[in-house]
Structure 1
Amino acid sequence: MDVRRADERYPGGDRSAGIESWHAFSFGPHYDPDNLRFGALIACNEEQLAPGAGFDEHPHSHTEIVTWVVEGELTHRDTAGHETVVRAGDVQRLSSAGGVRHVERNDGDAPLTFVQMWLAPRDPGGEPSYEIVRGIADSTPYAVPEAGAMLHVRRLAAGERTAVPDGAYVYVHVVRGAVRLGGEELGAGDAARVTAAEDVDAVAVTAAEVLLWEMS
Structure 2
Amino acid sequence: MGVINVWRAAERYPGGEPEAGIESWHAFSFGPHYDPDNLRFGAVIACNEERLAPGAGFGEHPHSHTEIVTWVVEGELTHRDSTGHETVVRPGDVQRLSAAGGVRHVERNDGDVPLTFVQMWLAPLNPGGEPAYEIVHGIADSTPYAVPEAGAMLHVRRLAEDERTAVPDARYVYAHVVRGEVRLKGEKLGPGDSARITDVRDVEAVGLTTAELLLWEMS
**TM-score normalised to the size of structure 1?**
1.00
SS of 2:39's partner is coil
- Quote how far apart the aligned CAs of 1:140 are: 1.2
1:190 equivalent in alignment to 2:185? no
Structure 2 CA distance for aligned equivalents of residues 50 and 67 of structure 1: 17
- Tell me which residue corresponds to 1:117: 120
State the shift of 1:138 in Å.
Answer: 1.3
Is 1:25 paired with 2:35? no
1:197 is displaced (CA, Å) by 2.5
C-alpha contact 1:165 1:197 (8 A) present in aligned 2: no
Alpha-carbon distance between aligned partners in 1 of 2:22 and 2:172, rounded to the nearest angstrom: 31
Give SS of 2:162's match: coil
Amino acid at match of 1:173: H
- Number of the residue aligned with 1:215: 218
Give yes or no for the alignment of 1:171 onto 2:186.
no
Mapped partners of 2:187, 2:75: distance in 1: 30
Over 2 Å off, 4+ runs: none
CA positional deviation for 1:139:
2.5
CA deviations on 1:120-157 (whole Å, 9 max, x unpaired) are: 00000000000000000113100000000000000000
Partner of residue 153, structure 2: 150
Q: How far apart in 1 are the matches of 2:35 and 2:105? A: 27
Counterparts of 1:139 and 1:202, CA distance in 2: 15
When the two structures are aligned, how many residues end up with a matched partner?
216
Structure 2 runs not aligned, ≥5 long: none
> 2: CA distance between counterparts of 1:81 and 1:68?
21
Corresponding position of 1:51? 54
Residues 144-188 of structure 1: CA distance to partner in whole angstroms, max 9, x if unpaired?
000000000000000000000000000000000000001100001
Which one of 197, 200, 203 corresponds to residue 200 of structure 1? 203
1:64 corresponds to: 67
Q: CA deviation at 1:47?
A: 0.2
Equivalence for 1:73:
76
**Matched residue SS, 2:199:** strand
Percent identity between matched residues is 82
Residue-by-residue CA offset, 1:43-71 (whole Å, 9 max, x unaligned): 00000000000000000000000000000
**Which amino acid in structure 1 is aligned with residue 29 of structure 2?**
S
Give secondary structure in 2 for the equivalent of 1:7.
helix
Structure 1: gaps spanning 5 or more residues:
none
- TM-score when scaled to structure 2? 0.98
RMSD of aligned alpha carbons: 0.4
Paired position in structure 2 for 1:180: 183
* 2:9 matches 1:12: no
1:100 aligned residue (100, 103, 120): 103
